[in-house]
Structure 1
Amino acid sequence: MRAKQELVRSGDLSRRIGAPVRVSESGAAHDSLFKGRLSWQRLRSGLSLHCSDCIELHDFSTQVEVAPRLSFVLFMAGHSAVCYDDRSLSIAASPKRPEGIAVALTEPATFTRQAQRGTHIRKLSVCLTPEWFESGGFDAHDSLRALVDPQSQHLAMRRWVPTARLLALAELTLNQATENSLLQHLQQESRALELAHGVIAQLTGQAASPPKTQRPHEQKLVQRALELLHSGEADGWSLEQIAAAAGASASTLQRQFQAARGVSVFAYQRQHKLQLARTALLGGGVSIVEAAWLAGYSSAANFATAFRRQFGVSPQAVQKYF
């Protein structure tokens, strides 16, 4: 079940997470901490999923005691400073450069996170506890350490590369429909397990289809195409025109772009423009018609249909809640 877009208050956190959360603010205390969508789901015994797509409303820190677990965190936007006991970690991600972090705890730890006013966070986290490992007949302690850092006795961290497939799964997971049904619960469980499988395969060097490394000239081709798409210069162009400006044939550009980004050139362009419109709505001050224009739609109705298909909610809902 996807959390609704709403104000998240300090008193809500402990109830949602299922553990006492301490909130500290340097100035006056504020009741509302986040504006957006936050959810914590226990999908099955030992398997949980946390999704965030929200704006931090103030500067504050949260602190919670976490039990032993293996966590795979995928940041798609935003920056964050966190600590596990005395081990610090800084994360900065953007749609162009998502970040993946794996954290293994074999003992309980104090987790502290610093929020910064105005930061838009888009991330998800899949957590596997010893209970999950033991239910499959695995030694939890050895599995936790072996998957991230065999030399670590307690706290291990390791970065991983978000592939196009994992990013697509993450988007589906974040934009899950709101109805609380068995089918949707099973979808989230399936996606969480596939995400975990993809990351574990990467960490252990056993990925079935490791991504092919593009050669420098292929990377430059894709980068040039991205620059054209992001600048708006290629709006209304055909694939042949974009390819010619980037210095390749249409078939070559499409093949290399698909390999690098996991989608076609025009699918990426549509997603990018819809994200621009969504960001504008999040910032306030634009109408639905103006947001539709930013996304390249002359019809607000067609824009609303594409927006809902991409993000799982209507543009009106984003405008209202943010």
Structure 2
Amino acid sequence: MTVRAKAKTILLSPVWALQLLTSAKSFLDNPLIGSNRLNRWGLHRSRVRLADALCRWRRRRLAGKLRPDWREAFERDGFVVVHDVVPPAEFPALRAALLAYEGPAREMRQGDAITRRMAIDPQMLSAIPALRALLARKDLLALFHYVAGFRTTPLHYIQTIVSHCGGNEPDPQESVHADSFHASMKAWLFLNPVSVEEGPFTYVRGSHRFDEARLAWEKRRSLRDPKAIDRLSARGSPRVTPQDLEDMGLGQAEPLALPANTLVVADTGGFHARGKAESSGERVEIWSYARRNPFLPWLGGDLLSLPGIAERRIGWLWSFRDRFEARIGQPWKPAGHRRPTDAET
């Protein structure tokens, strides 16, 4: 090791140690998280187990405000499906308003798919009051909070997925994976029906439970050389094989073909994927996301969830990454003012 490398290790060691008590997950970027010796002693398994125990404890405290049937479905499957989440008589008007809305958009290409997002920000909420009312519904907030394990306001977007639109590699989101080593919440409210052929949301039922079989798998994967496996797994979003699922006593990934006006809220610490579309096409949805430090014991305390701040976070985040793109990267490229169904750039 060179003198410079030794100095870097000395300076960064306290940072790497502190990251063990955060959502940091990359086996490549943090040598403690990726340490074969520490993981043989149980470091990664212990982080997973502690994060899960704290999440279950927080969820017990949030359960009182959640509809019992939604809680039962989540505990069984790891996701909740809500049909006709918007009253059917009101859904066509909301859908039309969302598809006609024009605002700043960002795009990211992964393999042969493009994901376009428009932030649900103060301007959109003012223009579409029905959207503001929907996202403020107490029953939906209780569901978001329970699945996330925190009283936190999700980031909300209008998201368009354009499949088979060029590129020489497959969409990595089509590989069955977990987002991290701990629970997180994602939600999709589909504005159009999504068939099996169109690549619907896919989930391994029950895979949100960090039981002994999952913990044993987590330890085995932590012992693999992060430089010898795929990049996304090495950075903490592990891909899983059918044999892995069988070894954990789980079934295979199940595509959820659903009609329009259906909301799916899932714990993406469980194994999931974007289904493989058979042909080019697009789907549009309200997409929501929430993930916090899994080692926090309290339920709230998220200043970024305060009204007036929560709906502006996405713009701030994009601006921050733009400013420091050379240092931290910015995968979301500006795509101009668009409507959700405008052709891709």
TM-score bin, normalised by smaller chain: under 0.3
TM-score (norm 1): 0.21
